Structure 1
Amino acid sequence: MYKRNAQGWSKHIDFLLIDEISLQLAFILAVFLRLQFFAYTSVFYQNLGVMMALVDALVIVANNTMHNVFSRGYYRELTETFKHSFFVFAIVTILLFAMKYGDLFSRIIVFLTFIFHVIIGYGMRVLWKLLLKRRHKEKTKNLSMLVVVEPDKAEALLQKLTDKANGNYNIVGVVLTESTKAAEIAGYPVVAKLEDTADYICKKWIDSVYIDVSLQDERIIRLMDDCSLMAVPTHYHVPNMSRNGVKRFSEKVGGTTVLTTSINYVTPLQMAMKRLFDIIAGLVGSLLALLVIAIIGPIIKKQSPGPILFKQERIGQNGKRFYMYKIRSMHLDAEERKADLLEQNRVKDGMMFKLKFDPRIIGNEIMPDGTKKTGIGEFIRKTSLDEFPQFFCVLRGTMSTVGTRPPTIDEYLKYQYHHRARLAIKPGITGMWQVSGRSEITDFEEVVRLDTEYITNWSMGLDLKILFKTLAVPFTGKGAM
């Protein structure tokens, strides 16, 4: 899922909040210097502070004060800050006199608040812009981009995309429209032929694809369709197409205008809300994980000597690899014994591995009379206690509380294009298919359909709905395996 910048006045809601904070700081400082007390201890000045805040927000939205805020130089930012503050206090002054409150408030306090608001507001805007620009550069360094370009345009485009002023994008490879013996262009490796690009993307860590090739080339149409099927965002230089099945919008990438397609997109505010929720859930979940480990750990070690935690390399968002942790519920030789149990796999196409009764689980035994005995391993799996260490990954940022289940490497290598759509977001501890049946669903295509439906319709409300359904699973054990 692609993170799209917000549009309209909400695009700079962070600057609105910063301006509100600077105004309140200016007001509190002015009251303290003039009257030597905290402004909000007085009912009269409480009302004045709230009035200023409302007027400030109204002027920002109505006057579009933050328009092109990033492109302003220091001098222009100072003049824009002064103009904005002047409008705010002109309106506040008019309101005070219109409501006949002028004699109740010190004019000096209003004047000092105006001066301090200009100074503090300007300083906070400048500092915030510097911080955001630095974060943007760091973010683009960690986002892998594949560039598809015509040979004669390659060097100039690569230079522009990797220029620090334009974002310093992390180019991991180049695909040329014409065959060449060159192993690299401008220091960047030529990683595939145009006809093989989709296969390359499917198996590698690629966050997005930048395309600067004429749409008259049918190979580009096929590539963009394949990227859409894999839910890999594409940036097409100079938007000039209309295709169904994906969301599209124009934006700036490296100083160029592109048409971006993606299965879905989120605004920075939505992304921040989801990450904040994950941090809170990660902290609480990690504490619970430590408690569960302390209780269950000794039992695991007694029945199956070895580490309490099971660590496994998984495939995360857009093909990026990471290590996932679980409380070990299987014997140490579980992976070696997997090959002997493939015929019993309930998922017929082999895209996942699920058994009705797994003898590799600690405590699971088939008795001489044929009855099946379960133990501690089956218990922690049915109650999902083994999942708690994944909150460490949530806190670290490699996983989310709600998302899609990360595949193992051997499963990932079998993926077709539409399967890769599951990797368009961070993997989650729980998700749509888990609350729709968990291991009772044995058709991998149904898993893909549910995960794709989740990504397409994502919202914080949907996440909360899935979480509430997940809370019931440990008590019912429905679908666990």
Structure 2
Amino acid sequence: MYKKKKRSWVKHLDFILLDMLAAEIALFVGVFVKFEGAIIFVSRFDHYPLYEDMAMLLPFIDLAGVLFTETYTGILRRTKYQEAISTIGHCLVNILGILLYMQAMQTTFFYSRYALAVAGVAMVIISYIFRCGWKRVIRKRMLQDVNKTSLIVVAESTTVDACLEDLAHSPYYEFKVNGVAVVDKDMTGQEIQGIPVVASADTLFEYLRTNVVDEVFLDGNTRASEETLAGRLVEQGLTVHVSLIHTDNLMPNRIMETYGHYVVLTTSMHIANNRQAFCKRLGDILGSIIGLVFVAIAFIIFAPIIKYQSKGPVFFSQTRIGKNGRKFKFYKFRTMYMDAEERKKELMEQNEISGNMFKMENDPRIIPIGKFMRKYSIDELPQFWNVLKGDMAIVGTRPPLEDEYENYALHHKARLSIKPGLTGMWQVSGRSDITDFEDVVALDTQYISNWSLMLDLKILIKTVAVVLGGKGSK
């Protein structure tokens, strides 16, 4: 699943909130300086409600200025001098908004000019400090490539230089070019402009299967079979950016975007808008905070029993495979004996699922209390920590083990095109009755292709029913 690039004002929501905070602090400073702290003692300050009303209005004045100006355009590329000019301009718009409000409400006479003047100066200084400080944090994270998507460029040898010149060297893009595939000759192992050539036309799909790749950029000057190639890549769960080609055969989920100076048509299994992505992540954060309360309660109840029945840690951690092949630490309450992983090899012949998963009824590796905990999914509760960290979502696809992932066919990777989840389509579709991994993949890709906030809500409701009934988890 692919999230659309943010619009300008949404993209800089962090700076908007910082400027709002700076304006509020500046107003407090102005009033505090003028009245020598009387603001703290409401009974000694007759006009306090006027400034309180202004404080409540300030965020809306600030936001109105943002919507009608371009104060954040190119903010990360500005010098300190340019940022100072931009900050002054932004604060002047805020002050103008305050004056217009005072005039409209006919309350100009009741406000202290001195307090507002001090507030205006403080607003410039505080906003400038906040902006410059936060830009340093962002630039540092960008240089470390934190949270950037992994992009592979596919091009011909005659056009690859021009393509990489535009896409590969700006630290401000939301993606990082980690490799290039040259399709008209085998240049694997070489470097072009410092970017490694990781594949040829013959080895491209194998590279994508075995490496962390989020998106693929197809240069529009490559061969005519590009439409077919784009379609195959999308089927594997990858997001594809196609530059200047006919798109009749592409999937219907597509949007026009700009990557560098290229106008591309982006297609993916599903494209979420910014509102949907924000609501999903907000729900994950709130849900995980509530879930961690239940983790604490479960720990108090079950930790002594786990320790009594099997010596060892209460929590079990394991490396799992997340979105597009990323590895992360996965947490559960331990429900098996300490030698469970070693004994798994002996039990593989009794695996009840054909394919790249392991499932066994009456698994002898499970401790007595573990059967109860698994029946009601209590062992899964610590994964709320993974959700809060951002490794997982509450609703998604279940993350595979490393050895399972290594045996994936290319089309299996489609189920990893979103964050893994605590629950999902497979969990609420009678997972104990599903014995073919291909059916699991089909359910997961169906979920991704048809994702919506309402579908997540339906799955959550079904999950509650499944957990309370103790169904589908043996």
Interval of TM-score (by shorter of Structure 1 and Structure 2): 0.7 to 0.9
Superposed, 1:78-477 pairs within 5 Å as 78-139=84-145, 143-155=149-161, 157-158=163-164, 160-167=166-173, 170-180=176-186, 183-186=189-192, 188-214=195-221, 216-218=223-225, 220-238=226-244, 241-253=247-259, 256-266=262-272, 274-275=280-281, 277-279=283-285, 281-282=287-288, 285=291, 288-289=294-295, 292=298, 295-297=301-303, 299-300=305-306, 303=309, 309-330=315-336, 332=340, 333-342=342-351, 345=352, 347=353, 349-355=354-360, 357-362=361-366, 375-442=368-435, 444-459=437-452, 462-477=455-470
CA–CA separation in structure 2 for the residues paired with 1:268 and 1:216: 34
Per-residue deviation, residues 5-33 of structure 1 (Å, max 9, x unmatched): 22254343333322222211111111111
Contact 1:31/1:39 (CA < 8 Å) preserved in 2? no
Q: 1:185 to 1:421 in 2, by over 3 A?
A: same
Q: Which residue of structure 2 lines up, in the alignment, with residue 23 of structure 1?
A: 23
Q: Does the 8 A contact of 2:231 with 2:250 survive in 1? A: no
Q: Scaled by the length of structure 2, what TM-score is found?
A: 0.83
Contact 1:205 1:318 in 2 (8 A): yes
CA contact (8 A) 1:316 1:322 kept: yes
User: Is the alpha carbon distance of 1:56 and 1:144 closer, same or farther for their aligned partners in structure 2, counting shifts above 3 Å?
Assistant: closer
Contact 2:230 2:250 in 1 (8 A): no
1:265-305: CA deviations, max 9, x gaps? 45677656655654555555456446545644554565566
Separation (CA, whole Å) in 2 of partners of 1:439 and 1:358: 12
The letter for the 2-side match of 1:78 is: A
Q: Is the 8 A contact 2:188 2:199 kept in 1?
A: no
In 2, Cα distance between equivalents of 1:466 and 1:137: 39
Q: What amino acid sits opposite 1:194 in the alignment?
A: A
SS at match of 2:158: helix
How much does 1:165 deviate?
Answer: 3.9
Distance 1:82 1:396, change over 3 A: closer
> What's the offset of the Cα at 1:432?
2.9
1:238·1:257 contact (CA, 8 Å) conserved in 2? yes
Q: Displacement of 1:400 after TM fit?
A: 2.7
CA contact (8 A) 1:440 1:480 kept: no
- What is the DSSP-based 3-state SS (H/G/I as helix, E as strand, rest coil) of the residue aligned with 1:350? coil
Q: CA deviation at 1:395?
A: 4.4
Mapped to 2, the partners of 1:265 and 1:135 lie a distance apart of 26
Rounded Cα–Cα distance in structure 1 between residues aligned with 2:187 and 2:263: 31
CA distance 1:362–1:63, shift in 2 (3 Å): closer
Q: CA deviation at 1:460?
A: 5.2
Deviation at 1:77, TM superposition (A): 3.6
Determine the C-alpha separation between the residues in 1 that align with 2:98 and 2:303. Answer: 64
Counterpart CA distance in 2 for 1:477 and 1:175 is: 49
The one-letter code sitting in structure 1 at the alignment partner of 2:444 is: D
Amino acid at match of 2:349: D
3-state SS in 2 of match to 1:151: coil
CA 56–164 in structure 1, closer or farther in 2 if over 3 Å, else same: closer
Alpha-carbon distance between aligned partners in 1 of 2:187 and 2:396, rounded to the nearest angstrom: 42
Deviation at 1:177, TM superposition (A): 1.3
- Does structure 2 retain, via aligned residues, the 8 Å contact 1:314–1:407? yes
Shift of 1:461: 5.6
Alpha-carbon distance, 1:318 to partner: 0.3
TM-score by length of 1: 0.82
How far residue 238 of structure 1 moved from its aligned partner, in angstroms, is 4.8
Whether the 8 Å CA contact 1:228–1:246 is kept in 2: the answer is no
Pick which of 99-108 and 450-459 moved more.
450-459
Q: Distance in 2 between matches of 1:315 and 1:49?
A: 47
Verify the 8 A CA contact 2:187 2:200 in the aligned structure 1: no
Paired residue secondary structure (1:146)? strand
Aligned length: 464
Comparing 245-254 with 268-277, which one deviates more in the overlay? 268-277
Q: Which moved more, 1:101-110 or 1:169-178?
A: 169-178
Give distance in 2, aligned partners of 1:189 and 1:99.
64
Is 1:162–1:254's contact at 8 Å kept on the other side of the alignment? no
Check 1:335–1:294 CA distance in 2 against 1; reply closer, same or farther (3 A cut): farther
Using the alignment, how far apart are the partners of 1:130 and 1:258 within structure 2?
31
Per mean C-alpha deviation after superposition, the further-off stretch among 29-38 and 323-332 is 323-332
Q: Find the aligned partners of 1:63 and 1:209 in 2 and give their Cα distance.
A: 34
Alpha-carbon spacing, 1:441–1:150, altered in 2? closer, same or farther (3 Å): same
Paired with 2:233 and 2:439, the residues of 1 have a C-alpha distance of 21
- Distance, in Å, in 2 between the alignment partners of 1:183 and 1:121 is 48
Output the amino acid matched with 2:346.
R
Q: Using a 3 Å threshold, how does the CA distance of structure 1 residues 87 and 476 change in structure 2: closer, same or farther? A: same
Cα distance per residue 1:163-205 (max 9 Å; x no partner): 2545496544331112236531235443333133223312322
Provide the secondary structure at the position in 1 that maps to 2:179: strand
Once residues 449 and 38 of structure 1 are traced to their aligned partners in structure 2, the CA distance between those partners, rounded to angstroms, is 63
Matching residue's letter, 2:429: S
The alignment-based identity, stated in percent, is 36
Aligned counterparts of 2:433 and 2:275: Cα–Cα separation in 1: 36
Report the secondary structure of 1:194's partner residue: coil
CA gap of 1:241–1:5, structure 2 versus 1, over 3 A, is: same
Q: Residue deviations 1:300-356, cap 9 Å, x none?
A: 5655666655544432110223343433434525412333314xx2x4x4243434x
Matches within 5 A, 1:28-67: 28-36=28-36, 37-38=38-39, 41=42, 42-67=48-73
| 1:69-95 deviation digits (Å, cap 9, x = unpaired) | 445444444334333333333343233
| Contact 1:361 1:377 (C-alpha < 8 Å) held by counterparts | no
Unaligned runs of 5+ in 1: 364-374
* Equivalent position amino acid for 2:158 in 1: D
